[in-house]
Amino acid sequence: MERGAFDAQAATATALALGWYAIGLPGHALIEIIDRVFYAERDTATPVRVAAGAVLLNVVGSLILMRTELSFGGLALASSVAALVEAAVLAAILHRRLGWLPPGALVGFGWRVGLAAVTMGVAAMLLQGVIGLHLDSQGVVGPGPWMGHLILVATVAPLAGLAYVGLSLALGVDDAKRAAQLLWRRP
C-alpha cells in the first residue's frame, strides 16, 4: 500500500530489499540462541570474534554486491549471508566443544521449516489475490477504506498460518507437534 510520496516504485524497492533480508532471518534467530549458550559457558570472547568476522564479511560482501545489478538489494543479501555464516560457524564451534546439534539435524530441520514457510508465503499471496479481488469487486478494498485491508489481513494471515502449521505437522517438525499438543490439550 502506498501513501503520499511512497509510490509503487518505492514499494517495489522496499519489497526487494525485504526479500533479501528475509533470507538471513534463520541466521539471526540462531545467533540469538547460540550466543546465550556461549555466555552460559562463560565464553564471551568467541561470539565476539565470530561476529567481528561476520561484520568484515558483510562489509566486503556489501561493497561487491552493491555494484552488481542487485544494487541496494546486494546490501541486504550481504547482511543475510553474513548472518547465516556467523550462525553456522558458531554452531560448528559448539558442536565441536559440546556435541551440540549435529549439522545434519539443522539441515533436516531447516529444509522442512523452509518448505513450510515458502508454502505459507505462496498461500498468502494466492489468498490475498483471490480474497482481495473479491473484496475489491464489492468496493470494500481500495486506496482509502482501511476496513477492507483489515478484513484482508484478518482472513489471509490465519489461513496462511494454518498452511504453515499443517505442512509442518505433515513433514514431522517436532516443534509443530509440540505446539499443536499444547494448543489442543484441555486444562
The reply to whether 127 and 83 lie within a common domain is no
Domain shared by 39 and 89, yes or no: yes
Cα separation, 80 vs 26, whole angstroms: 9
Helices then strands, each counted (H, E), the chain: 7, 0
163 plus 84 within the same structural domain: no
pLDDT at 109: 79
pLDDT digits (tens, 9 = 90+) for 138-176: 666 555 567 777 887 888 999 998 999 899 989 988 887
Q: Do 96 and 106 have their domain in common?
A: no
Give the count of alpha carbons within 13 A of 70, CB side only: 19
- Please report where in the chains the cell 538471513 appears, as a residue: 24
Same domain, 42 and 120: no
The total of structural domains in the chain comes to 2
DSSP class of residue 65 equals H
Instruction: List, in sequence order, every residue forming a beta bridge with 6; answer none if it has no partner.
Output: 3
On whether both 91 and 55 belong to a single domain, the answer is yes
- Residues 162, 80, single domain; the answer is no
Residue at 183: amino acid letter: L
Q: Which of 86, 101, 116 is the last residue of a domain?
A: 101
11, 3 in Cβ contact below 8 A?
A: no
pLDDT for residue 78: 96
Of 43, 75, 101, which residue constitutes the final position of a domain? 101
| Residue 116 pLDDT greater than 60, yes or no | yes
* Same domain membership, residue 76 and residue 137: no
pLDDT digits (tens, 9 = 90+) for 30-65: 899 999 999 999 999 999 999 999 999 999 999 999
Cell readout for 29 is 534467530
